[in-house]
């Protein structure tokens, strides 16, 4: 008899709605995580609830309203998360049951773990939907899931897929999206990854969880799949909070390129497997305006993997092979 297996795919989540209160609740949960702001609990609570959330929630709510309008009234992270879950379940058949859990939104990781425990699954695969491992993304969702599991009397055999940036089907899926964008019409491709504080980068430098190396390797692998020479692409980082974060920063790069005469630029965000606020607004609309205002003429953001069949094939392959870590440093 084969063990009863649950596959829990994990992501950060979205607010319940773009309304001010829901956005403020979401920001409080997200920024209150010790892996996001790594200072002592008491000072983090004062900083988040007393300063950051009150000062940012109005602007964030406006941006989430714009994102929702762009995607027909829904948040893409949840929408494509649900589609991925359904398509992956169909692809896997009765081999395992697929669940979707969000760290700071609904459906919550705790709710999904509760169901998994109630239905007595004897094996659990945890799959964070972040190609490159980082403590503030993969580490955060894994910690939440493992903390939920330990509260139950029957703890299943747990396996973790900590990253997949170098999986051939992941690389092919992003390369296919770039081909569909007509990349030959652009002068250069800029790869953009979510930035992290340099303190986080130094902690993992040279290890199997070296985030900067994983990002640069992702660019290299996708470029190789497209037969792009190195001058035809560049690796950058976005969403940085200060100069003490990993760079080069994409805003600086695209302004420099526009000022020096580059007219056509294509941007790809391989740290996101679904369109989201950071990609669609920050790297899409806002970066486009920056490029055009400094002399650029054509700017496009490649759609993320979303519900691409190749992406579903990648996930199926990841969980169907034996190349899964028994545990990961999270």
pLDDT string in tens for the chain (330-residue length): 456 999 999 999 999 999 999 999 999 999 998 989 888 888 899 998 999 999 999 999 999 999 999 999 999 999 999 999 999 999 999 999 999 999 999 999 999 999 999 999 999 999 999 999 999 999 999 999 999 999 888 899 999 999 999 999 999 999 999 999 999 999 999 999 999 999 899 999 988 899 999 999 999 999 999 999 989 999 999 998 888 999 999 999 999 999 999 999 999 999 999 999 999 999 999 999 999 999 999 999 999 999 999 999 999 999 997 544 443 333
Q: Please tell me the distance from the alpha carbon of residue 308 to that of residue 310, in angstroms, as a whole number.
A: 5
> Is residue 161 within 8 Å of 128, Cβ to Cβ?
yes
Angle at 137 between CA 131 and CA 142, to 5 degrees: 95
Angle at 318 between CA 159 and CA 282, to 5 degrees: 100
Q: Please tell me the distance from the alpha carbon of residue 253 to that of residue 299, in angstroms, as a whole number.
A: 13
Q: Say what angle helices 140-149 and 109-118 make with each other, to 10 degrees.
A: 40
**Spatial CA neighbour of 57 closest among 15, 99, 93:** 15
| CB under 8 A, 24+ apart: contacts of 315-322 | 315/9, 315/84, 315/88, 315/91, 315/127, 316/88, 316/91, 316/92, 317/167, 317/169, 318/127, 318/161, 318/164, 318/167, 319/7, 319/92, 319/96, 319/125, 319/127, 319/161, 320/92, 320/95
Q: Is 61 helix (H, G, I), strand (E, B) or coil?
A: helix
Output the average pLDDT for the chain: 93
**Residue pLDDT, tens place only, 213-230:** 999 999 999 999 999 998
Q: Please tell me the distance from the alpha carbon of residue 141 to that of residue 11, in angstroms, as a whole number.
A: 7
What letter does residue 249 receive in the DSSP assignment? B
What letter does residue 51 receive in the DSSP assignment? I
The dihedral through the CA atoms of 314, 149, 26, 55 has a sign that is: negative
> Is residue 237 within 8 Å of 197, Cβ to Cβ?
no
Q: Please tell me the distance from the alpha carbon of residue 60 to that of residue 68, in angstroms, as a whole number.
A: 12
Q: What is the set of domains in the chain, with CATH numbers?
A: 5-164+309-320 (3.40.50.1400), 168-301 (3.40.50.1400)
> Is residue 129 within 8 Å of 142, Cβ to Cβ?
no
Full DSSP string of 102-133: ESSSSSBHHHHHHHHHHTT-SEEEEEES-SS-
The residue to which tokens 């900067």 are assigned: 212
Q: Please tell me the distance from the alpha carbon of residue 240 to that of residue 197, in angstroms, as a whole number.
A: 8
Token digits of residue 17: 């709605």
Q: Please tell me the distance from the alpha carbon of residue 45 to that of residue 11, in angstroms, as a whole number.
A: 23
């Amino acid at each position: 008899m084969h063990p009863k297996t649950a596959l829990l795919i994990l992501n950060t989540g979205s607010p319940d709605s773009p309304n001010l209160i829901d956005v403020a609740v979401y920001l409080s949960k997200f920024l209150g995580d010790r892996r996001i702001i790594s200072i002592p609990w008491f000072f983090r609570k004062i900083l988040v609830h007393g300063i950051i959330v009150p000062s940012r929630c109005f602007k964030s709510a406006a941006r989430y309203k714009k994102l929702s309008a762009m995607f027909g009234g829904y948040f893409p992270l949840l929408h494509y998360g649900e589609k991925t879950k359904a398509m992956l379940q169909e692809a896997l058949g009765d081999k395992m049951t697929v669940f979707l859990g969000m760290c700071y939104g609904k459906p919550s990781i705790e709710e999904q773990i509760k169901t998994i425990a109630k239905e007595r699954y004897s094996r659990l695969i945890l799959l964070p939907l972040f190609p490159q491992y980082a403590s503030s993304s993969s580490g955060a969702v894994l910690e939440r899931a493992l903390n939920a599991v330990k509260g139950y009397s029957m703890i299943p055999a747990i396996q973790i897929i900590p990253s997949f940036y170098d999986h051939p089907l992941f690389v092919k899926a992003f390369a296919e999206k770039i081909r569909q964008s007509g990349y030959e019409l652009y002068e250069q491709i800029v790869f953009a990854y979510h930035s992290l504080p340099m303190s986080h980068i130094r902690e993992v430098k040279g290890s199997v969880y070296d985030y900067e190396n994983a990002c640069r390797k992702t660019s290299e692998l996708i470029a190789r799949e497209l037969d792009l020479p190195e001058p035809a692409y560049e690796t950058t980082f976005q969403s940085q909070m200060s100069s003490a974060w990993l760079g080069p920063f994409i805003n600086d790069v695209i302004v420099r390129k526009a000022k020096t005469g580059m007219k056509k630029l294509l941007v790809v965000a391989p740290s996101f497997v679904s369109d989201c606020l950071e990609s669609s607004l920050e790297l899409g609309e806002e970066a486009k305006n920056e490029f055009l205002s400094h002399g650029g003429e054509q700017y496009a953001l490649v759609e993320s993997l979303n519900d691409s069949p190749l992406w579903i094939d990648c996930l199926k392959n990841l969980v169907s092979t034996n190349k899964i870590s028994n545990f990961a440093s999270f």
